[in-house]
Structure 1
């Protein structure tokens, strides 16, 4: 069975995965595709013709430069996450069979340059080149190279949007509160800035999008209460009537559920109001460039639904997706410039990511070439459950239960931790289920998608409560036919930490563990992670100075000699998030205590395995390891 399962896993890993990055004015798609072994850029014409644009050997992404046949390319080297920006000129004066040569736009390999936004003739990016820690936001003129600093007040940014009239720039900056961010508004006329949400109120502010007349913007948030009345440190407010002012006492309506709702910020009045929100769902919105429609995505229990609504979002037209799955880049649905086409990336547990679009009608249409139907015809859809915990909580859980289930189970724990297991493509989970294992995919406390309260139940001193959820899940698993003596833990990043924590704090309960780029000590992880990440990781796990004892108490490494179950560890040598030293120290400690531990290190990878050649080497070995210890 192991050889057949490994062959099937290889087949699934080799399936094509395509993600949409952009749409131009001629309805050409800019997509990422991994046919070459890592995600490269391709252009897909309206008649379905493909043109390869890059062959870098490293994963990359990009955006069209509006109004020009130019792509802004973003790529790092070896998984370091130090992104560099280049231009690809797509003029047709030469042969389209020849790959365009990247022209450096923003290059300094020692630092990160994250592409945030593209506009006619200019790009907006964030960079930590000033001190290696704080990110400044820069607008760069592509033709002249002239740069203008939009923000240098510190922080880490995950988004920027320029208003259609060019005056305003809204920036999304992470704050020091767990799973929280803040929106800043920059006046590009005079350079003044102000906070329009409060950085002392917990809550994420995601996906800011301008209305076409620049009078307001939409954003999604799970924050509650009064917002936008407190100035952030270093933020200039109290401008004259023409400047940006933080609104004194401006209220944010919310739906009171702790779920993400869609909200509207009125620039003239500096006030927030609620647009759309549903109990049990996270709601996001994308207004069309002409202002006549809003695409609304509602995410509930790991699956997405799509509607196209009226401008006020009150009247909706449901759009059918292929089946239960997710719009993979849910913060990057893309309207064509003429508003006639809505592009997206869709994936599910039985389908790899693929680009789709909607141009009217009842359902989305495939825009890119799919994999053969027979390649995924035997895959099994997960079922949704709620597993009881001793304290009365219910743990949202998916399970793939094969018809030939033999009692063994693999529990796959997601990373983050402010993330979630959703109904998306997971070739390892699919292959394990085809091999007869019950695959359990839990959203332990601390996971996103189930309300702000659930998201916050693992913060700092509550960390081990999420580890205890693994035990509760084990107690419940016989209800779906699992033998408690044959359960393995599997996870990446924070999920890797959960594997190690499960094996150390509850050592007698598990048959084996697979740790991929996981943290073995929260103390050494925070000490050694990249400096620009440390403050934002401390907000979730605890601060080294104030919470050292809490961090140490929740770390597997000090009690690693408790591990008796066999352990398999995978790590990238260039990981900027969880340093390789986390894997090396746990492997050495486990081996010294006499337990079995295999360690695979990939010299050209970072935080996870992005290259197919490494996936094809590591994951079949992990599968064989699990088969050996769960038989």
Structure 2
């Protein structure tokens, strides 16, 4: 990589991001900012001052790892969630932002729920000085839903029925709660009603449907829920808690629709996923359309809900959310619900633009439908350089039930800057394109998603690209896809970059965190029933076929995909005489959360691809 491109990549990787975590009654926004290298808490305060709305920024934390938090309703205290080295064992602490003169470390926090051997995940903050959290401290495997009174420290266990706790919401009267947990089919979830020491299943555990983010209506008789029950796409429905009956409020037969209900129960922010871009609108709680939300000029992308969910103000007049698009690493927007207008409160976009070389424009994607031999069509974003070199890199998202959207990626833009055309597909198994599509890779269909990689390769000549100079890049499940492509289609790919990827579905399931095993077996297959297929679908089973050079990145503390997955595939490929470069970071978990590590790993990986894809 020459110095010009190396400098560009470092500038892209140095781009800071913002996340909107919460919004209080005084208009203060609890945000996350990673200018220190990891996401730390910053309070954006309205008034005369520095940020986009004329307010000031008060940095609050300086912890070793990434953090997030929520305001306690009616209080100036913040619940802070933090782990150690990316191990995902969240601990909960309290912080008074008014007492912070300089950003605090762990010694500046007041412990709330601490036991570093277990996970304590913040679920919700309640209006009466309580919080709800999920913890696996009972046996290290199953999660319980617990409500804690912060004034006297007493706790009540609302659910201890086993498995994982998804979203949860406590009723306005404080006596009942709604909770989601995984259903039996892959990527399904059901809604439970908790109260009076009983658990009532409001939806069927055997139904192949997602039920997401239940939110109580003020009368306590019903809730808003996002679901694809009986539909191909997600829609917004009213769930009667006495009968379990769903009444549709907002649907779109061609797109997924989700909603966030305001605290007063009068309004909803409705988000429509349109091929990886988000359309926003404000509706009444009964589903009646009010108005579209107008974004600031130049914003073309989506709500970055993988960063932080949208949060309404306590009075329901507006909400804060995180936004990302190809030119915006992640900004905080504030929506005026009455006017339907969004304003930028904290920007990464302007800062990044100011650091880029004059005349350099970040590239947005074009959308393609890639045909497959079995008659399917793979949605795919294509990022094309101004001067294509003929080489290409296919970047596969994780999950597998993830979605590639029109968001900022330093890696995509850096590869485009190198002259590579970048393809970012949503292979079968991806969400965002309906239930049928996300179900097409379940268990014995796993290798059909791998076959989508071959279809993408066959599409390269239509884009004017050299099929002999194509590489794969992916993280987590995307890393599995990289390794599977190299192992099952060795004649197609010139190189691969595997980041925290699965090399064997069998050893992954055997060695992943116990609380994740049963959850993931729904998707991949059971060790007890499907072991032969899992062996057959594992890249390690065909590792002798790999002939392309491989670059491997992993975190030593990864609780999801253990480091052993990287170590065994690197050793096996090296034993075949094939080039392998592997980097491991002792202070990382499932991915690279720290900028210093990204600045070390990603330039090396991009340079590796540059060598592998150079013209012969």
Alpha-carbon contact 2:372-2:455 (below 8 Å) kept:
yes
Q: Does 1:144 align with 2:152?
A: yes
1:374 equivalent among 331, 343, 354: 354
Q: Provide TM-score, normalisation by structure 2.
A: 0.94
Counterpart in 2 of 1:233? Answer: none
SS at match of 1:564: coil
2:333 equivalent among 344, 348, 356: 356
Q: CA deviation at 1:97?
A: 4.1
Counterpart in 2 of 1:76? Answer: 83
Count the aligned residue pairs: 595
Q: CA deviation at 1:379?
A: 0.2
Counterpart in 1 of 2:188? Answer: 180
Alpha-carbon contact 1:6-1:623 (below 8 Å) kept:
no
Q: Provide TM-score, normalisation by structure 1.
A: 0.92
Alignment partners' CA distance in 1, 2:40 and 2:335: 24
Counterpart in 2 of 1:413? Answer: 396
Q: Does 1:295 align with 2:272?
A: no
Q: Does 1:102 align with 2:116?
A: no
Q: Does 1:312 align with 2:316?
A: no
Give CA-to-partner distance per residue, 1:65-103, whole Å, 9 cap, x none: 1111100010110111111000002345xx634648201
Give CA-to-partner distance per residue, 1:131-182, whole Å, 9 cap, x none: 1100011111112111111001111012111222323211111223201111
Cα distance, 1:516–1:84 mapped onto 2, change above 3 Å: same
Counterpart in 1 of 2:4? Answer: 4
Q: Does 1:276 align with 2:250?
A: yes
Counterpart in 1 of 2:320? Answer: 343
> Structure 1: where are the runs of 5+ without partners?
225-255
Alignment partners' CA distance in 2, 1:263 and 1:270: 11
Q: CA deviation at 1:339?
A: 1.0
Give CA-to-partner distance per residue, 1:556-578, whole Å, 9 cap, x none: 11221111100000000011000
Q: Does 1:609 align with 2:592?
A: yes
Q: CA deviation at 1:268?
A: 4.5
Counterpart in 1 of 2:51? Answer: none
Deviates more, 1:576-585 or 1:366-375: 366-375
Counterpart in 1 of 2:493? Answer: 510
Alignment partners' CA distance in 1, 2:243 and 2:507: 47
- Counterparts of residues 217-256 of structure 1 (less than 5 Å): 217-224=223-230, 256=231
Counterpart in 2 of 1:591? Answer: 574
Cα distance, 1:98–1:59 mapped onto 2, change above 3 Å: closer
Q: Does 1:395 align with 2:388?
A: no
Alignment partners' CA distance in 1, 2:510 and 2:262: 45
Alignment partners' CA distance in 1, 2:560 and 2:219: 40
Counterpart in 1 of 2:33? Answer: 33
Alignment partners' CA distance in 1, 2:339 and 2:247: 31
Alignment partners' CA distance in 1, 2:439 and 2:371: 18
> Structure 2: where are the runs of 5+ without partners?
48-54
Alpha-carbon contact 1:207-1:284 (below 8 Å) kept:
no
Counterpart in 1 of 2:131? Answer: 123
Q: Over aligned residues, Cα RMSD in angstroms?
A: 1.5
Alpha-carbon contact 1:176-1:536 (below 8 Å) kept:
no
Alpha-carbon contact 2:61-2:103 (below 8 Å) kept:
no
Q: CA deviation at 1:191?
A: 2.7
Alpha-carbon contact 1:220-1:263 (below 8 Å) kept:
yes
Q: CA deviation at 1:58?
A: 0.6
Give CA-to-partner distance per residue, 1:584-631, whole Å, 9 cap, x none: 000000001100001100001010000001000000000100101111
Alpha-carbon contact 1:176-1:535 (below 8 Å) kept:
no
Q: Does 1:435 align with 2:418?
A: yes
Counterpart in 1 of 2:52? Answer: none
Alignment partners' CA distance in 1, 2:532 and 2:523: 15
Give CA-to-partner distance per residue, 1:88-129, whole Å, 9 cap, x none: 02345xx63464820110010110100001113111111111
SS at match of 1:199: coil
Alignment partners' CA distance in 2, 1:81 and 1:438: 35
Alignment partners' CA distance in 2, 1:59 and 1:520: 27
Deviates more, 1:467-476 or 1:260-269: 260-269
Cα distance, 1:163–1:470 mapped onto 2, change above 3 Å: same
Cα distance, 1:269–1:223 mapped onto 2, change above 3 Å: closer
1:326 equivalent among 302, 305, 309: 302
SS at match of 1:525: helix
